[in-house]
Structure 1
Amino acid sequence: MDPKPSVAIIGSGPAALFAAWALRSSGHEVTVFEQHDHLTLARQASASEGTPRVDIPMRTFSGAYYANLFRVLNHLGIATRVHRFHYRFLQGMAEYFQFFSNFHRIIPCLSNSFWINLYVLACYVWYTMAVFVVPPRIKNGSSGSEETETLDQYAKRIRLPDRFLDWYLLPLFASVATCSHGDLRQCPAAYIADYRRRTFAAHHRTVSDMHVLQTLLTRNVTIVLQAKVERVQPGIEGVEIHFTTGDGDKHQIRIFDRAIIATSAKQAGELFPTIRSITSRLSEGRVRISVTESSHRANAGRSETLVLMTQVEDTSSPVTHAIHHHPSGLDVVVSPGFHDAEKGPAGAELIYLNRPLPTSESHDLLYEVFGTASKGRKLGWKNGDYGIYLAGGYASASLPLLEACVRSALEAAVAIGADLPFEIVKHTSF
């Protein structure tokens, strides 16, 4: 029997570790390179020493949209728990609406004006019906459309009022996709409609212990921490991984049969210059997450409060900050569009993340890279060429969420030779 290919994986986020699990479970020799001194799937933060630690970001998932994630979790025997949210909508500091996820509580919503409740309910029902019976147009999808429709175009086509879009629907999706309202309006409508259809009436869930999941995913996987990968390069004998460790003084090269780059798209382009002409055309945003001690105390077993505070500035599109009053007594604030140099609240622990920003152009481009057709050749590279694969939130025709990481990771692993204990669920063309 021929030996199975050795695989290097760059990064240690969800895409990296789910790929590592799939390959190692099939007998491949897998090495994960991570530039930090810890793996980043189970990242946690706290406001100060002695306060509880919370998952950053909180990875929620629900319904059939996360089919592949649920298959892995069920196979591993990982427990999940339900989160019920109390959504409070604010414009600046003034609250204008509230409701509870899946309407699990109704009476508090009566504090809204009768006419606002009626207006939002009517728009919500119309939007929900539309995503089922008037699907958005998408290129290379089952509809056979020649264009990929943005959410802005789709909302106009189905005559969804701008007021509902700006102050009710977009704040909700901004809390999921962590980007500005303007970025959401340019997102392929099919991505958002698919999320709405497949999470309809499903509860939000989280993994009970992310560290347990991280441990199971990395069992028997070689981990190289504080390894700054500088270049991934095809060579005569395989894929060369050029990296430094520790203080960066010692440069090393290791050769593997295959490699998976599970970083952001822009980072992947820096590591593997062959694809830079592709990754340079993909948009990314920056997200700031701050953790502080909270004056808001949630009652055990009650709904968790998620404040959606929308701010409008003259120079940019509206931005919604998602403020999660965590049951542990911490406030976790997720704010899109911030840069590392901008200061956060006093005493807060700050974490900055890159966030893919899908557009109709990125959909068409990535289809040529990840789709089953051979069109990617005109770009000079298609996923898997030279034994190098990409995986991450951007590598799927969907919102850049945990499911996109899992699916792209499993598909890269299977392409290399992994045998999964289940079939990959494919709701989209890539």
Structure 2
Amino acid sequence: MASVEPRQSVAIVGTGMAGLITAWIVRNDSRARFDVEVFEKQKTLSLDSASLTVSNLSGDKQRVDLPMRAFASGFYDNLKRMYDYFGIEYGKQKFIFPFSIVENETEPGRSPKIHTSFIHSSHTHQFPPLRPQGSTWLTWLIEALYLGICYLWIVSCSIIIKPKEANGSRPSETFRQYAARIHLPQYFVKNYYLPIMSAVTTCPHNALLDFPAIDIVDYQAKTFGNSHYTVIGGVSKVQDKLSKGLNVHYSSAAIRVENVGAKVQLTWKNDITGLTESKLFDHVIMAVTPDVVRAIFPPLRSASLVGGIRSEPGLPSPERIHLCSNSSSTEFTHEHLSSVIITTSPILPIDPSKIEHTVFFTRTLRTPLSRKVTKEIFDPKTSGDFGDSKQWRNGDGNIWLVGSWCWDGMVLLEGCIASALRVAEELDIEVPWAL
């Protein structure tokens, strides 16, 4: 008679994309070796918790993703394979990007003025491009030629001139340094490149300039010329698939993760009862942001994990994305097809009577230092330490990290899937859609 492997207990902290997909993978182990419990500090699962249900112009209910969850071929390959496995419907989405600048923003007694300098159609689906109102044919043509040359230059440089990697005591090159080294014009960087990348990363311009250059160049190279997609019906469809039958402890905020003998003790506070509870598990997987990891997991308390917090036929017509910038950040405004206007990082005040729903979310930023520390945690071939504390590697003591920031790349949904697949490999779990 074949021996039956003993079952192991697994706690997963967090129910974003990383937490839910990791929970699904572990629960569906082909050898049925794991009992999974999930802990969520909110009263609902967090992947879709910021989204909003609205009625469109026809009166039909529609789920609006907050933030928008567009993804592109080339970079999001693991995400696309997962969606295909679960039968998640997604379609090509065309976007129109008006680039605007806020003028007179800080001048007393003068109302801010918004000037649109160029309108870009994603993957040039509309050619020639739309001409901004108030722009002459000559100025528009000069701007279009200038942008074409600059974009061709940075694409060529990303292939030929690679960003400098860390070497000894020298950290990896920032995008600010890389842009200067390849002589990328400041006008193009400030008014076009930073706004479009800020829309992708939802972070301020200075923070983006301090990102590792390799992150931005790699993202650009992989998405160049590829289509963008959105999930039909929103990520609530994904959440429903991944969470079916899941054992979730809601209103349970993790406050400490530590090894106790051969086990891992998770301590959490129940916001409903007000009680603090603890339980021993064989494995604990933390699917939370770096600031939470540092707060609940002592071995990484001193680690510099972050740089800062902060269409196919039959599908709708192109959606408009307005990128309005000042000297420090870009306001990302999405004209959703449901007739809702979604604004991220607003620069100018919004009439409170026009606000239907407001949410706040944490954005994990990257720097060369946080990239170095992340590589030390997840890459066993990378040497380093965290100051006075003993170096901890992902999986030590059967404690794991997953999330959008838990890989060497842009902090986006693909990192959630890649880090979950890493845990699956370490636990010897076969993932049906993985290559």
Alignment TM class, shorter chain as reference: 0.7 to 0.9
CA distance 1:421–1:46, shift in 2 (3 Å): closer
Shift of 1:108: 4.0
Mean Cα displacement is larger for which, 238-247 or 98-107? Answer: 238-247
Give the aligned partner of residue 307 of structure 1: 322
Mean Cα displacement is larger for which, 215-224 or 56-65? Answer: 215-224
Q: 2:303 aligns with which of 261, 264, 278?
A: 278
Is 2:86 the counterpart of 1:80? no
3-state DSSP class of the match of 1:109? coil
Shift of 1:370: 0.9
Give the aligned partner of residue 10 of structure 2: 7
Is 2:403 the counterpart of 1:392? yes
Counterpart AA for 1:39: L
Contact 1:179/1:337 (CA < 8 Å) preserved in 2?
A: no
Counterpart AA for 1:36: Q
Mean Cα displacement is larger for which, 49-58 or 4-13? Answer: 49-58
Cα RMSD (Å) = 2.6
d(CA) in 2 for partners of 1:145 and 1:48? 56
Give the aligned partner of residue 52 of structure 2: 45
d(CA) in 2 for partners of 1:381 and 1:95? 50
Q: 2:182 aligns with which of 133, 158, 161?
A: 158
Shift of 1:399: 1.0
Per-residue Cα deviation, 1:124-167 (whole angstroms, up to 9, x for no partner): 11111111121212238xxx996411111111111111111111
Counterpart AA for 2:357: E
Contact 1:258/1:416 (CA < 8 Å) preserved in 2?
A: no
Shift of 1:239: 1.1
Give the aligned partner of residue 108 of structure 2: none
d(CA) in 2 for partners of 1:198 and 1:169? 16
d(CA) in 2 for partners of 1:373 and 1:96? 47
CA distance 1:36–1:204, shift in 2 (3 Å): same
Mean Cα displacement is larger for which, 392-401 or 322-331? Answer: 392-401
Provide structure 2 residue ranges, at least 5 long, that are not aligned to the other structure: 103-113
Q: 1:54 aligns with which of 47, 52, 64?
A: 64
Mean Cα displacement is larger for which, 373-382 or 25-34? Answer: 373-382
Name which one, 1 or 2, has greater alpha-carbon Rg.
2
Shift of 1:335: 0.8
Is 2:202 the counterpart of 1:202? no
Q: 1:136 aligns with which of 134, 138, 163?
A: 163
Give the aligned partner of residue 377 of structure 2: 369
Provide structure 1 residue ranges, at least 5 long, that are not aligned to the other structure: 287-299, 313-317, 425-430
Contact 2:331/2:347 (CA < 8 Å) preserved in 1?
A: no
Give the aligned partner of residue 182 of structure 1: 206
Aligned ranges for residues 17-416 of structure 1 at < 5 Å?
17-26=20-29, 27=32, 28-43=34-49, 44-45=51-52, 52-92=62-102, 93-111=114-132, 113-139=140-166, 147-209=171-233, 210-279=235-304, 282-286=306-310, 301-312=316-327, 318-335=328-345, 345-346=352-353, 347-373=355-381, 375-376=383-384, 379-416=390-427
CA distance 1:145–1:65, shift in 2 (3 Å): farther
d(CA) in 2 for partners of 1:337 and 1:394? 26
Contact 1:285/1:336 (CA < 8 Å) preserved in 2?
A: no
CA distance 1:265–1:344, shift in 2 (3 Å): farther
- Give the TM-score of the pair, scaled to structure 1: 0.87
CA distance 1:53–1:215, shift in 2 (3 Å): closer
Contact 1:260/1:390 (CA < 8 Å) preserved in 2?
A: yes
Contact 2:330/2:347 (CA < 8 Å) preserved in 1?
A: no
3-state DSSP class of the match of 1:64? coil
d(CA) in 1 for partners of 2:198 and 2:358? 20
d(CA) in 2 for partners of 1:76 and 1:47? 26
Q: How many residues align?
A: 400
Give the aligned partner of residue 109 of structure 2: none
Contact 2:380/2:393 (CA < 8 Å) preserved in 1?
A: no
3-state DSSP class of the match of 1:349? coil
Percent identical residues: 31
CA distance 1:235–1:376, shift in 2 (3 Å): farther
d(CA) in 2 for partners of 1:400 and 1:409? 14
- Give the TM-score of the pair, scaled to structure 2: 0.86
Give the aligned partner of residue 19 of structure 2: 16
